[in-house]
């Protein structure tokens, strides 16, 4: 017969949480159900159902459109999931698990119609519902931040946030006694023009702030309500820090502070650290207890059937048709000459590369590649506002070029260009790009600004994106 100590050890779990406190919890019959056969089968079905999303995620990390920051919150989220499991079993309501399986099934049905980023977000939410959201709300946010969203946020929110930063910075400068006013996304201070470029929109600043807040909430094992409160306070706090940072950088551009890229980076780092310290002071309520919900055995077959159906439907649909936005193709005439910087260039149309051919199959317009002595020209014509008209710097970064600092360049005719330098294997090139309306010849240097203008004024199209790559005494 087993002794009292042996029987106690077999039926109880001893937990040593923080501060050396000792808790003794009676083991339940399903304490190790997280590692049961049903759980492993569920994980396998979810992995198969999410295969198209995982494949898209791997390709997106390598296409140059986003910096691979998403790997960091993904690793942190996995670490917290393992840490939470070591402390206690994931407990969730069977109804929530069924909701997670249903969401993954709906994502599988939307393989042909939903954009990949939306499918990935819904799939992550479904997986969090499957493992239990009580203690993992912050982990869910970390998983969402692991998606390649920086480029998309910069595209859709870059221009509106730049307008907000400009207007708020003007208000602060006037309160400090300067004579300032806003001209679109340019701050005019005492007659000096300071452009608020895409980097100053605060997209990356906001992303890093959200990542820090989610990590802090996950570390404190906060409840869902506390996690929501942290983000409600942290997001405006980070945006205000970015606005103050823009004001300080305005002093730098107008000569009131030392100039230089190093000073620019140090100022950004200082204000991010200040906002991070304020986030650490936010109130956090730890989710100390999880009440075991009633078990609904009859929901288990329904959940498994939904996951099995998703594992069959999603790869099958992805193999037959990739997602593609509806588009109306337009054609453009072949260019023979092109004027740039008061110089007329005779153009020769060249055959696109295999990568350009693959991209043009899904591009809602036409793409032309031309070459001349000392000039390489890429033109893209579109008829409506589309996300697929992205900056050329994304493609160049994916091709292995290092991208230098970008600024607005004004040519002799008053045309505005987005200018930056690229470098690869010791070769340096100058890149000028802009988007021009064929109706009134208005131009944009920022893709986000053009997108919102094209949405408001669709009759100003079609539009042409021009990318000019030049090098002294050679060709690209």
Give residue-wise pLDDT tens across range 384-393: 888 888 888 8
Most confident of 21-30, 235-244, 345-354: 235-244
Asked if residue 440 lies in contact with residue 346, where contact means CB atoms within 8 angstroms, the answer is no
Q: Is the pLDDT of residue 365 over 70?
A: yes
Q: Among 152-156, 183-187, 288-292, 317-321, where is mean pLDDT lowest?
A: 288-292
Q: Name the band, by pLDDT with cuts 50, 70 and 90, for residue 19.
A: very low
Provide mean pLDDT across the span 261-281: 81
Q: What is the pLDDT of residue 34?
A: 43
Q: What is the pLDDT of residue 397?
A: 78
Residue (of 260, 261, 280) closest to 272 by Cα position: 280
Provide mean pLDDT across the span 17-21: 38
Q: Among 124-133, 207-216, 217-226, 369-378, where is mean pLDDT lowest?
A: 124-133
Q: What is the pLDDT of residue 31?
A: 41
| CB neighbours of residue 56 within 10 Å | 19
- 290/267 Cα distance (integer angstroms): 43
- 381/341 Cα distance (integer angstroms): 22
- Which residue is associated with the tokens 């452009």? 195
Q: How far apart are the first and last CA of the chain?
A: 84
Q: Is the pLDDT of residue 292 over 60?
A: no
Q: Name the band, by pLDDT with cuts 50, 70 and 90, for residue 257.
A: low
322-355 residues labelled b (16+ CB within 10 A) or e (exposed): ebeeeeeeeeeeeeeebebeeeebebeeeeeeee
- Which residue is associated with the tokens 């600043």? 205
Specify whether the backbone of 202 is left (phi greater than 0), alpha (psi in -120 to 50) or beta. Answer: left
**For residue 474, with 0-12 CB atoms within 10 Å meaning exposed, 13-18 middle and 19 or more buried, which class applies?**
exposed
Provide mean pLDDT across the span 416-429: 86
Percent helix, strand, coil in the chain, to 5, is 50, 20, 30
Q: What is the pLDDT of residue 414?
A: 78
Q: Is the pLDDT of residue 68 over 80?
A: no
Average pLDDT, the chain: 76
Task: Enter the tokens of residue 431.
Answer: 């890149």
Q: What is the pLDDT of residue 14?
A: 42
Q: What is the pLDDT of residue 33?
A: 42
Provide mean pLDDT across the span 112-138: 78
Task: Enter the tokens of residue 240.
Answer: 């205000």
Q: What is the pLDDT of residue 340?
A: 86
Percentage of the chain modeled with pLDDT above 90: 3
Q: Is the pLDDT of residue 150 over 70?
A: yes
Q: Is the pLDDT of residue 215 over 70?
A: yes
Most confident of 30-39, 157-166, 257-266, 356-365: 157-166
- Residue 191, helix vs strand vs coil: coil
In degrees and rounded to multiples of 5, residue 450 shows phi and psi of -65, -40
Q: Name the band, by pLDDT with cuts 50, 70 and 90, for residue 3.
A: low
Q: Name the band, by pLDDT with cuts 50, 70 and 90, for residue 433.
A: very high
Q: Is the pLDDT of residue 134 over 80?
A: no
Q: Name the band, by pLDDT with cuts 50, 70 and 90, for residue 356.
A: low
Asked if residue 65 lies in contact with residue 390, where contact means CB atoms within 8 angstroms, the answer is yes
CA-angle at 456, arms to 169 and 110, nearest 5°:
105
Task: Say if residue 19 is preceded by a cis peptide, omega within 30 of 0.
Answer: no
DSSP state of 286: B
Q: What is the pLDDT of residue 260?
A: 63
- 283/290 Cα distance (integer angstroms): 20
Percentage of the chain modeled with pLDDT above 70: 77
- Our measurement of the distance from residue 475's CA atom to the centroid of its chain's CA atoms, rounded to an integer in Å, reads 34
Q: Is the pLDDT of residue 324 over 50?
A: no
390-406 residues labelled b (16+ CB within 10 A) or e (exposed): bbbbbbbbeeebebeeb
Q: What is the pLDDT of residue 211?
A: 92
Q: What is the pLDDT of residue 15?
A: 39
Q: Is the pLDDT of residue 82 over 70?
A: yes
Q: Among 55-69, 129-143, 166-180, where is mean pLDDT lowest?
A: 55-69
pTM: 0.71
Task: Enter the tokens of residue 4.
Answer: 């009292």
Q: What is the pLDDT of residue 304?
A: 84
Q: Is the pLDDT of residue 359 over 80?
A: no
Q: Which residues contact 34 (CB under 8 A, 6 or more apart)?
A: 85, 89, 90
């Amino acid at each position: 017969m087993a002794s009292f100590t042996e029987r106690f050890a077999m039926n109880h779990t001893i937990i040593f949480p923080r501060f050396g406190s000792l808790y003794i919890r009676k083991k339940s019959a399903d304490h190790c159900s997280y590692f049961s056969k049903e759980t492993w089968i569920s994980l396998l079905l979810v992995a198969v159902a999410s295969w198209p999303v995982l494949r898209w995620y791997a390709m997106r990390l390598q296409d140059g459109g986003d910096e691979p920051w998403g790997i960091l919150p993904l690793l942190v989220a996995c670490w917290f999931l393992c840490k939470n499991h070591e402390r206690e079993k994931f407990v969730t309501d069977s109804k929530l698990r069924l909701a997670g399986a249903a969401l993954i099934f709906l994502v599988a049905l939307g393989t042909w119609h939903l954009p990949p980023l939306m499918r990935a977000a819904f799939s992550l939410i479904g997986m969090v519902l499957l493992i239990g959201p009580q203690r993992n709300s912050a982990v869910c946010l970390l998983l969402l931040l692991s998606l390649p969203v920086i480029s998309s946020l910069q595209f859709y929110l870059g221009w509106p946030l730049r307008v907000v930063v400009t207007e708020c910075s003007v208000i602060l400068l006037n309160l400090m006694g300067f004579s300032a006013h806003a001209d679109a996304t340019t701050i005019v201070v005492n007659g000096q023009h300071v452009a608020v470029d895409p980097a100053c929109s605060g997209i990356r600043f906001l992303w890093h702030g959200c990542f820090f807040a989610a990590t802090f909430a996950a570390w404190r094992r906060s409840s869902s309500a506390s996690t929501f409160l942290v983000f409600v306070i942290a997001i405006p706090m980070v945006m205000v820090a970015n606005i103050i940072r823009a004001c300080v950088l305005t002093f730098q551009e107008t000569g009131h502070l030392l100039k230089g890229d190093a000073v620019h980076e140090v100022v950004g780092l200082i204000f991010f650290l200040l906002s991070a310290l304020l986030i650490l002071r936010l109130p956090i309520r730890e989710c100390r207890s999880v009440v075991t919900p009633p078990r609904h055995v009859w929901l288990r077959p329904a959940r498994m059937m939904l996951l099995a159906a998703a594992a069959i439907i999603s790869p099958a649909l992805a193999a037959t048709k990739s997602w593609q936005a509806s588009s109306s193709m337009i054609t453009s005439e072949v260019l023979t000459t092109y004027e740039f910087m008061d110089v007329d260039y005779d153009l020769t149309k060249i055959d696109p590369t295999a990568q350009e051919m693959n991209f043009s199959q899904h591009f809602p317009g036409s793409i032309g590649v031309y070459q001349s002595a000392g000039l390489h020209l890429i033109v893209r014509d579109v008829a409506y506002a589309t996300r697929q008209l992205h900056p050329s710097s994304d493609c160049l970064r994916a091709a292995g070029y290092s991208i230098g600092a970008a600024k607005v360049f004004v040519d002799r005719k008053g045309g505005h260009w987005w200018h930056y330098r690229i470098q690869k294997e010791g070769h340096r090139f100058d890149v000028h790009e802009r988007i021009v309306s064929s109706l009134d010849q208005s131009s944009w240097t920022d893709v986000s600004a053009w997108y919102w203008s094209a949405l408001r004024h669709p009759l100003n199209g079609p539009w042409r994106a021009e990318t000019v790559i030049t090098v002294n005494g050679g060709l690209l």
